[in-house]
A and B are shown apart, each in its own frame.
Chain A
Amino acid sequence: ETGVTQSPTHLIKTRGQQVTLRCSSQSGHNTVSWYQQALGQGPQFIFQYYREEENGRGNFPPRFSGLQFPNYSSELNVNALELDDSALYLCASSLVGSGSFYEQYFGPGTRLTVT
């Protein structure tokens, strides 16, 4: 296990609703990234937070937003849910600094179903 935890494990929402997913990073890691994995596809980068600020964003609309807290836990918020938002949402933490790149450690994911 990586030490990255996510909650909840599963979630069912109705189209148009809002959802908040949570992630707790591995101890000592200062960066968190969120990915969306649709069924049968590879993960797609949503955004990354470093020291509580957004540090990069993929091709996702503004209704996808996030937060990173001083304890390096993180939230992913999705407003106005659409059916296509149904996916596995993965959180990944890493330690970034001094020009080094460390591998990202993934949590078990939250399975979101939008009906």
Chain B
Amino acid sequence: AQSVAQPEDQVNVAEGNPLTVKCTYSVSGNPYLFWYVQYPNRGLQFLLKYITGDNLVKGSYGFEAEFNKSQTSFHLKKPSALVSDSALYFCAVRDVDSSYKLIFGSGTRLLVRP
């Protein structure tokens, strides 16, 4: 069965420092991977996706993610964190048995301190 793991419940980083939010996946076949962000009392906002091609994917708000097939990881990164980046981040993978169903991780709360 397909699954996604986000091993950190919370990540703390100082403003201006680089940030990484970790995600590992387990799928059969080639993965379609996504990152979403959720602000308080809001729905999910799409950040970026990996379908195929370059392992480094650039997305919205300066975020990027690195696909690593050998480590089955898709970590979210940003070179310089902002206080406004503080939110809940979800990694998701497309279910290969159901092309349009997303399987989400449990989420990682990012806290950027001034």
Q: Which residues of A contact B (CB under 8 A)?
A: 2, 4, 6, 31, 33, 35, 40-45, 48, 50, 55-56, 58, 90, 92, 94, 96, 101, 103-109
- The interface residues of chain B lying within 8 Å CB-to-CB of A31 are 100
Q: Does B67 touch A at the CB level, under 8 Å?
A: no
Residue of A nearest to B36 (CB): A106
| CB within 8 Å of A: which B58-114 residues | 90, 92, 94-95, 98-107
* B60 to A: closest C-beta gap in Å: 11
B44 beta carbon closer than 8 Å to chain A: yes
- Determine the interface band of chain B, counting residues with CB < 8 A from chain A: 20 to 34
Q: How far does the Cβ of B76 sit from chain A's closest Cβ, in whole Å? A: 15
On whether A42 and B43 interact (CB within 8 A), knowing A101-B99, A103-B49, the answer reads: no
* A104 partner, pick from B42, B102, B103, beta carbons under 8 A: B102
Residues of chain B whose beta carbon lies under 8 Å from any beta carbon of chain A:
32, 34, 36, 41-46, 49, 51, 90, 92, 94-95, 98-107
> Can you list 18 A-B pairs, Cβ within 8 angstroms, ordered by A?
A2-B45, A41-B107, A42-B92, A42-B105, A43-B44, A43-B102, A45-B103, A48-B98, A48-B100, A48-B101, A96-B99, A103-B34, A104-B46, A106-B43, A106-B44, A106-B45, A108-B41, A108-B42
Sample of 20 more A-B contacts, CB < 8 Å, known A2-B45, A107-B43, A109-B42:
A2-B46, A41-B107, A42-B104, A42-B106, A43-B44, A43-B104, A44-B104, A45-B102, A48-B101, A50-B100, A55-B100, A56-B101, A58-B101, A92-B44, A101-B94, A101-B99, A106-B43, A106-B44, A108-B41, A108-B42
Q: In the complex, what's the smallest C-beta–C-beta distance from A115 to chain B, in angstroms?
A: 20
Which B residue's beta carbon lies closest to that of A33? Answer: B100
A2-B51 Cα distance, complex, nearest whole Å = 21
